[in-house]
Homo-oligomer: A and B are copies of this chain.
Amino acid sequence: MEFKFAIGPRVRKSPFFDAAVAAGVTRFTTYNHMYMPVSYGDLEAEYWRLKQGVTFWDVACERQVEIVGPDAAALAQYLSPRDLTRCTSGQGKYVLLCNHAGHLINDPVLLKLNDERFWFSIADSDVLLWVRAIAAERGYKAQVREPDVSPLAIQGPKAEAVVCDLFGDWPRDLKYFWFRETELEGIPLVLARSGWSKQGGFELYLQDGARGSELWNLVREAGRPYDIGPGAPNNIERIESGLLSYGGDTDDETNPFEVNLGKYIDLDIEADFIGKTALREIARTGPKRRQVGLFLDGENIVPNQHRWDVTLEGEIVGKLTAATYSLQLKRNIALALIELRAAESGRGLVVRADDGPRRAEVTGIPFC
């Protein structure tokens, strides 16, 4: 089944939209109320380019929630269960956002621009609404807004070469998630070593939405000697690498411990944060479910369009959230969120795929 996509003013166009269209984008999704390219027509070629070469992605839909003001640092800490006391200017950190019940509501990268200015580079939920509500109800002295900032990712083993051809040698010394405010031919941007793959790379946080095509073309030209091509976050690579898709792999009641992210929860810090009491209780009693990797039997699997039931002796014990045929492992792999007892025994599982039942075997994450 193929459906057309409605383009209208309720959902925003990215600053890179026109450039992506000119480059031949064929398929979109929406993310944070913005169109997001997901393919240029050959997912397998895009996968290999990401794994072996270099690719660039319109990920403007990773919107920023900016917090500015004298209480910005205190507010950022109240919002995130990770200890931020040693986070310095120019440093980014992967943080989880949980609600008061300890359930995941987003998993952004937090960028500390200075002591009074932070960006949460968010996954697909309206964190802006949430942060404004918290800040206002608690009287934090901080402005909360969505700035004109739109990331363009350059990913793959040759990404560093492209970025150094554009910016000089200094990006080689950037540590993972660290960043610097800079410019490119007068285009203001933040350059960070980050991106939603495990192949290495950078994100250019464009700070002038009117100059999207200009930045796109600069990257394309710099990448030409390396055979750069347009792409998008790649579902095969991210499953192989075990990267969490917020909203894809999580549901309304997923807590960080269930998806193996407990290491980003610092329950013993002095500062209060949202969900601290609930997360302590979950940590004490242990999670009831766990995200696991699965190998699936049978023919090469068509990626799931919705969640599939995972069963043990005929009883539903959880959901498969993402399945794909791994081009590297040459077998069917999947992520699933299942009851602890099923995760621990790991045997006898059956997945109810759209094309029929498949035997499944539990394995570790990441796959590659």
Write the residues of chain A forming the contact surface with B, with a CB cutoff of 8 angstroms.
1-13, 21, 25-30, 33, 38-39, 99-101, 105, 124-127, 129-130, 132-134, 136-138, 145-146, 235, 245, 247-248, 252, 274, 303-307, 321-322
Contact = CB atoms under 8 A, between A and B. Distances in A.
B4 A5 contact: yes
A11 B21 CA distance: 23
18 contacts: A3-B4, A3-B26, A6-B29, A8-B235, A8-B305, A9-B305, A9-B321, A10-B248, A13-B305, A33-B124, A99-B129, A99-B133, A100-B136, A125-B126, A126-B129, A130-B130, A133-B134, A136-B274
A136 B86 CA distance: 29
Interface of A is mostly: loop
Nearest to A136: B100
10 nearest CB pairs, A to B: A100-B136, A126-B126, A10-B248, A5-B5, A6-B29, A4-B27, A137-B137, A3-B5, A133-B133, A129-B130
A230 to B, nearest CB: 14
Contacts of A25: 3
Given A99-B133, A130-B133, A132-B99, A303 B5 contact: no
Nearest to A33: B247
